[in-house]
Structure 1
């Protein structure tokens, strides 16, 4: 199975959806921030490994504690994933902090500031 095949894309989407449900509904760890979302999941073609990109809406301390809580609960999450998704192999999950949403919000603020300054500069002329 190639990395970008239709089957791999469907598996990625299904694993992402199930990981999101498990993190939101099943895990009771207080370290995991309530505003945690699974941005993407990349399952290897041999179904042995999975990279789950996690986004946390909070400060840096909340992000670190959430990733640590998810790493500690990875075996439980893998067991729940095996029960909900019928795959030949249940992948070993690696959680990666994804800050692309945060970066996008920051860039959007910068763009808004520049356009506001530009409008004010035009009004002065």
Structure 2
């Protein structure tokens, strides 16, 4: 039984090759500096390989994000052509770049959970997750006897 479908392998190969092209293939130093803050998180190719959604995150500020998005969209044709030289599939998909908000959503949800835990346990300093990590096993004392701490 196959562990990965062909489309998953193609998605991952396109993501790896695009990441390498963005890191090393863009010659303009202003663009290269800006792209060093970009991480490609996922690629989703349509079943007919006509289009690929390329999801990315960036460490840039929200103001700079528009510039990063514009730069990626402007470089899409060049990146597609270079991708065609690197991988062998029948049709190289048209690239569509989308900012990936999943990391920000995850951080926001973690913050909300932390706030909820704090409001449930106002006098407690340790988060619930830290308490769960404590083992209930007795502690061995210096005299060799077992105790609760």
Q: Which residue number in structure 1 is paired with residue 8 of structure 2? A: 9
Q: SS of the residue aligned with 2:18?
A: helix
Residues 1:74 and 1:117: Cα distance change in structure 2 (over 3 Å)? same
Higher percent of residues as helix:
1
RMSD, matched Cα = 2.0
TM-superposed CA distance for 1:67, in Å, is: 0.7
Q: SS of the residue aligned with 1:13?
A: helix
Task: Render the CA deviation track for 1:92-111: whole Å, top value 9, x for unaligned.
Answer: 10111111111111211221
| Structure 1 runs not aligned, ≥5 long | none
User: Is the contact between residue 33 and residue 62 of structure 1 (CA under 8 Å) also seen in structure 2?
Assistant: no
Structure whose alpha-carbon radius of gyration is higher: 2
TM-superposed CA distance for 1:119, in Å, is: 2.6
Aligned length: 119
> What TM-score do the two structures reach when normalised by structure 1?
0.83
Point out which structure has higher relative CO (alpha carbons under 8 A, 6+ apart). Answer: 1
| Structure 2 runs not aligned, ≥5 long | 126-149
1:108-119 map, 5 Å: 108-119=110-121
TM-superposed CA distance for 1:112, in Å, is: 1.6
